[in-house]
Structure 1
Amino acid sequence: MSTDDPVESVEHELAVLLRRARATSGAIAREVHPDVGAAAYGLLLNLQQTGGARMTDIAAYFGVGKPTISRQVGFLERLGLVERVSDSEDRRAVTLRLTEEGVERLATAQQARRARLRELLDAWPRRDLETMGRLLHRFNDLPF
């Protein structure tokens, strides 16, 4: 795309990046388990990053209702990737966390993704990669 407006250029490249990220997310999700979709993969990533969370917190994070999360969690439980654990502070509350199998499958899929990314970016100078990482971090810190 050729444009003199840098904001238009950024907008266009972001649209391409997001489209590719959605497709990639689905492919990585299937590496975790053939039946896992992108939404369930996002939930697994959230649990990996937080170390575990309550359903209400996960629903708030994704901006969806608790029934939606509950369906996803039930599905992931049946696959053996997620488990419910009684909260030690409030026995009525339940914390969700990855099972050992969930941790292992997610790590394996992420390692494969990183290997592919390294392969794709192998020809890029380290300085360019550092700059890209810094700029993406700065962009992700914007208050949308």
Structure 2
Amino acid sequence: MPDRDVTISTIQRELTAFARRARQKAARIHPGLSLVTYTMLDHMRETGGCRGTDLAEHFLLDKSTVSRQTAVLERLGLIVREPDPDDRRGQILRPSEDGLRLLDEAHQQRRATFEERFTEWGDEDLERFSGYLQRYNAVS
């Protein structure tokens, strides 16, 4: 059985490689997007829209960082701001039509990449891998 330290080092290396690929793919999806701005845009879609403070809390970022990132998304025409119905002083950030189209295209590209990468994997391997990822991500 492999040494636990070696195994954890391997996991760390492989997850770092995964993150590096994710950053590169974000830039290919749109040259003005970083992985952070892309994931914020995706989170806005998942939640149906949210406030900047919600993004800061979800991603554990400073409000000024969120403000800069959302300004980029707005400049690119990928989000819209709407008055918060619960607090007229606040704004809800939502993906624009262009933002939704970009997210849909990115989802299709990612899906095709996964289909290609997993061609040789059997159903049991995929189910096991899916379960491990869910288990890993469930820990906060």
Question: TM above 0.5, one fold?
Answer: yes
**1:142 and 2:136 correspond:** no
Aligned partners of 2:111, 2:122: CA distance in 1, in Å? Answer: 17
Q: Secondary structure at the match of 1:97?
A: strand
Using the size of structure 2 for normalisation, the TM-score is 0.90
Deviation at 1:17, TM superposition (A): 3.1
Using the size of structure 1 for normalisation, the TM-score is 0.88
Identity %: 35
2:92 corresponding residue in structure 1: 95
Aligned partners of 1:17, 1:118: CA distance in 2, in Å? Answer: 19
1:65 corresponding residue in structure 2: 62
Number of equivalenced pairs: 140
Indicate which of 36, 41, 57 corresponds to 1:39. 36
1:1-144 matched pairs, under 5 angstroms? 4-6=2-4, 8-9=6-7, 11-143=8-140
Aligned partners of 1:136, 1:67: CA distance in 2, in Å? Answer: 31
Aligned partners of 2:117, 2:42: CA distance in 1, in Å? Answer: 23
The 4+ residue runs of structure 1 with deviation greater than 4 A are: none
Q: Secondary structure at the match of 2:82?
A: strand
Q: Which amino acid aligns with 1:23?
A: R
